[in-house]
Amino acid sequence: MKINRCTQNPLLTPADVRPSNPRFQVDGVFNCGVARYGDEIILLCRVAESVKQDEEGKIEIPIVVNEEGRDRIATVAYDKRVQTQFDYSDNRTIFRTRPNGGRIAVNLTSLSHLRVARSKDGIHFTIDEKPSIMPIASQESWGMEDPRITQIGQVYYITYSAVTENGVCVSLMKTEDFTYFERMGIIFGPENKDVTIFPEKIGGQYVAFNRPVPFGIGNPSMWLAKSPDLLHWGEQELFMAASKEDGWDAGRIGGGAVPVKTEKGWLVVYHAADENDRYCLGIYLLDPEEPKKVIGKLDVPFIEPETVYEKEGFFGNVVFTCGALLEDETLMIYYGAADDKICRVDVALQDIYEMLGV
Ligand code: MAN
């Protein structure tokens, strides 16, 4: 199996990104949506920021608030040495432990916005100086994460995690030029993530993977939903559950790259985490007319954290994708490495077919 990590990896790192505010630092540029736009490859990157700190043990997180009808950025500060009632062990989230056990998030450790990066060769990217879309208080007070782009005709539809203190929803946005973006609102209520919309109607309806997050019974798994108009989603069906065995996909699974059409069916690269939050990518092929029918699946990880840039970073041992392009018979997967960098891996379509036995 020939998995060709780009020799120039990582393609984008926090050092390449200008903070949206002089007080901020960029903690990560990762999990990006991908699109072909004219002679350019566009990455719509998730950029995570926090407030610069000189003092060890202090954390300050930007959030978006609305005051007197106007959005502004406020900050929430924590001092780990003093506020010992909170759990800081997960680099991504600050938790409060509940009296009955369990834990609830009191803040994320960063605020994410979305920013366009462009390239002619798909390897050397220039990221915009400023955010393309900043979160708004009414819909994304804790940030916009993990954008995924589906091109339908001339329109690029973008799904993303819309995070608020009341849960994570999935919202939809559209653009025709990656300059002007129009919000279309929430399409999946909390808690849901990882929505990938197929690029064409199947059986007269739009189809999307989504990943509801159950509480108590069952692990987060992949579901399929249908819609007549991209806004109203229903007919939910469980597609694939996280494995019940202890293994690479036992913690949770969810959509990754937007499904890619091939002459043999829909190629889907998804993510799976084990119970220690080690994130790998898996792959399967679906029937062209019946997306719930799997015609080939790899039972082992397709790509797993192996290199230093995937094992070490803001949150280590993570490879996570939101998009891939099929060009010249090669699948180019753009992915977030260790929650702070963007990388690319190429795999020839023929090798994928062989791997899947199709
Ligand atoms: C979650 C998401 C992703 C992130 C992974 C790993 O699934 O929030 O954005 O990359 O966790 O931290």
Report the atom number in ligand 1 closest to the C-alpha of 277: 6
pLDDT of residue 325: 98
Ligand 1 in contact with 90 (CB < 6 A)? no
Local structure of 139: helix, strand or coil: helix
Q: What percent of the chain has pLDDT over 70?
A: 100
- For residue 296, what pLDDT is reported? 97
Mean pLDDT for the stretch of residues 51-80: 95
Distance in angstroms (rounded) separating the CA atoms of residues 108 and 337? 19
The closest-lying atom of ligand 1 relative to the alpha carbon of residue 318 is: 6
54 has pLDDT over 90:
no
C-alpha to C-alpha distance for 6 and 18, rounded to whole angstroms: 24
Cα separation of 279 and 311, whole Å? 10
Q: Is 156 in the pocket of ligand 1 (CB under 6 A)?
A: no
CB count within 10 Å of CB 262 equals: 17
pTM exceeds 0.85 for this model = yes
CB 65 within 8 Å of CB 72:
yes
Torsion of CA 78, 83, 85, 87, to 10 degrees: 40
pLDDT for the residue 102: 84
Q: Quote the number of domains for the chain.
A: 1
* C-beta 340 within 6 A of ligand 1: no
> Which structural domain range is residue 176 located in?
4-356
Give the model confidence (pLDDT) of 187-214 as tens digits: 999 999 999 999 999 999 999 999 999 9
Cβ neighbours around 96 below 10 Å, total: 13
Mean per-residue pLDDT, 323-327: 98
Taking residues 225-231, report their average pLDDT: 98
- The residues pairing with 251 across neighbouring beta strands, listed in sequence order, are none
In this prediction, residue 101 carries a pLDDT of 82
Domain harbouring 10, CATH code: 2.115.10.20
pLDDT tens per residue across span 270-291: 999 999 999 999 999 999 999 9
User: 284 phi and psi, to 5 degrees?
Assistant: -150, 170
H/E stretch holding 354: helix 349-356
Q: Is the pLDDT of residue 31 over 70?
A: yes
Give the count of beta carbons closer than 10 Å to the beta carbon of residue 133: 19
Q: Measured between alpha carbons, how far is residue 23 from residues 79, 120, 131, 151 in Å?
A: 18, 32, 15, 36
Other Cβ atoms within 10 Å of 100 Cβ, number: 5
* Mean pLDDT across 38-65: 96
Ligand 1 centroid to Cα of residue 263, in Å, is 31
Exposure on the CB side of residue 124, measured as CA atoms within 13 A: 2
Asked whether the predicted pLDDT for residue 92 surpasses 90, the reply is yes
User: How high is the mean pLDDT of the chain?
Assistant: 97
Average pLDDT over residues 82-90: 95
Spacing, Cα 78 to ligand 1 middle (Å)? 22
- What's the CA gap between 109 and 143, in Å, rounded? 11
Q: Which uninterrupted H or E stretch holds 121?
A: none
Measured over all CA atoms, what is the biggest interatomic distance in the chain, rounded to whole angstroms? 60
Give percent of the chain above pLDDT 90.
Answer: 94
- Residue of 93, 111, 320, 335 best suited for mutating to test ligand 1, as the one with most atoms within 8 Å of CB: 320
Distance 31 CA to ligand 1 centre (A): 8
Identify whether 191 is preceded by a cis peptide bond (ω within 30 of 0): yes
- Position 245 scores a pLDDT of 80
pLDDT for 215 equals 86
* Whether residue 274 has its Cβ less than 6 Å from ligand 1: no
- Could you tell me the pLDDT band of residue 1, with boundaries at 50, 70 and 90? low
